[in-house]
Structure 1
């Protein structure tokens, strides 16, 4: 009887001891009650210094191999042909500048050194030649302002004037056929350019009789054509614009600019001789002209 109680008591005590041991080992909900152990600190490993590699420079042959290949030379394409005519800039072999705006008349002043060549701007026929400098500041006649000059009628039907010439080339006379680029005279200071730098008075108009001198002095603005002939397209022609201008104004429009000469002061008892160039003292040749016989555009 006593031995049976003892066995049951021993069983209960054993169970209690077993339960306590399990609780100490795992803690609540299976989590250990002991603080987690901290991993021992380890010493910082030695740092190995970086090794800088020396990169060799590429050889000239390697550099050449890396350069992009050069392309072919550009193909020069000629400018479009705008007319069947070919023109030349009217001053040859000299540095030039010229105005590109309307001042008094639709003409331009091409500044160039004295003696530079005035050349035919197109194939054509010489129309008028004035080899005498008749201009005088006392009267300032419009017909004399250009001094020595040459006009040609181009194969395009347009008239071109080069004035303020120092001289007219030998053999240049009315009716003579000339080629574009052929020398017609030398740039100078005749006419009312006497007190300015040497220059070429250049004008574009249409053929008229010499009596209508104001027409030859310029009816069409020339600078766009000069720009093209000098550095752009040598086939740009003033023919169309000149025909249109003539159609609006008529073949012989009235004079509207610089038409009347100055009044000549009353002559004294001993009139003074007008100033003229030395070469004109010996040359009393009048203006020679080729009268207008062919309608413009034919």
Structure 2
């Protein structure tokens, strides 16, 4: 008689795996700092450190700015710059007024140093005296001259110089007190040694001698600088330009 066949029912193993799943998952979550337990990609790279090396935050790559067709703007004017008296001499005279328009004549011996009022960049230079009484009065009146755009946004102009210093050219950076030239009597100086000194705003593309020669009365600033003060004309220059713009030739 044949042996009876014993039927055995094999139970599947997945209930055991289901019971072990939380344990396995918990164990994997600690194998890589910074990785989430559900297996998703980490939001930031892991940071590792040894006992003698502190943990540093992960480096980030700065976003690249979007391209722009706008031209770069000029540096903003600076406040609090040092200002000095424009003629370095013991005996300098000037009057608070001036004929026809705001400016000042600084009377000193020919050859005394004319210096930069503040830090800035040379704007215009004239090394040739083209003035003649038979020509138009105005454009060439200054003779030899230098104008400086200070880092405070103000233009300072000196003319009737006897010489412009070597190396003082348009675009050159200068410091407060640096010599730009010497007192003279070129141009329409009426044969009297002095420096015509003017304060004005720069007017790119619309500029001219009628602005460069001066638009503000400089005496109160000269008084301050001469006594070691630092009165700044920038606010008055800005207010003048807001009101007047860049006027055309008179």
Q: When the two structures are superposed, what TM-score results if normalisation uses the length of structure 1? A: 0.56
CA contact (8 A) 1:146 1:192 kept: yes
The answer as to 2:109 corresponding to 1:113 is yes
Q: Structure 2: where are the runs of 5+ without partners?
A: 1-78
Q: Secondary structure at the match of 1:109?
A: strand
Count residues in correspondence. 171
Give distance in 2, aligned partners of 1:228 and 1:147: 28
Q: Give the match for residue 125 of structure 2.
A: 129
Q: Secondary structure at the match of 1:92?
A: coil
1:210 Cα deviation from its structure 2 partner:
7.3
Q: Give the match for residue 97 of structure 1.
A: 93
Q: Deviations over 1:146-186 (max 9, x none)?
A: 10100010010000001000000000001100000000001
Q: Deviations over 1:65-101 (max 9, x none)?
A: xxxxxxxxxxxxxxxxxx5111010000341000112
Give distance in 2, aligned partners of 1:172 and 1:232: 26
Give distance in 2, aligned partners of 1:224 and 1:213: 23
Matching residue within 216, 232, 241 for 2:236? 241
Q: Structure 1: where are the runs of 5+ without partners?
A: 1-82, 257-298
Q: Secondary structure at the match of 1:242?
A: helix
Task: Return the structure number with greater relative CO, CA threshold 8 A, min gap 6.
Answer: 1
CA contact (8 A) 2:102 2:216 kept: yes
The answer as to 2:213 corresponding to 1:205 is no
Bigger mean CA offset, 101-110 vs 130-139: 101-110
Q: Give the match for residue 247 of structure 2.
A: 253
Structure of greater Rg: 1
1:102 Cα deviation from its structure 2 partner:
4.0
Give distance in 1, aligned partners of 2:83 and 2:191: 28
Give distance in 2, aligned partners of 1:190 and 1:140: 16
Say which structure is richer in helix.
1
Give distance in 2, aligned partners of 1:145 and 1:249: 24
Give distance in 1, aligned partners of 2:155 and 2:80: 17
Give distance in 2, aligned partners of 1:211 and 1:219: 13
Give distance in 1, aligned partners of 2:168 and 2:206: 18
RMSD: 1.3
Runs of 4 or more off by more than 3 Å in structure 1? none
Q: When the two structures are superposed, what TM-score results if normalisation uses the length of structure 2? A: 0.66
1:232 Cα deviation from its structure 2 partner:
4.6
1:255 Cα deviation from its structure 2 partner:
2.5
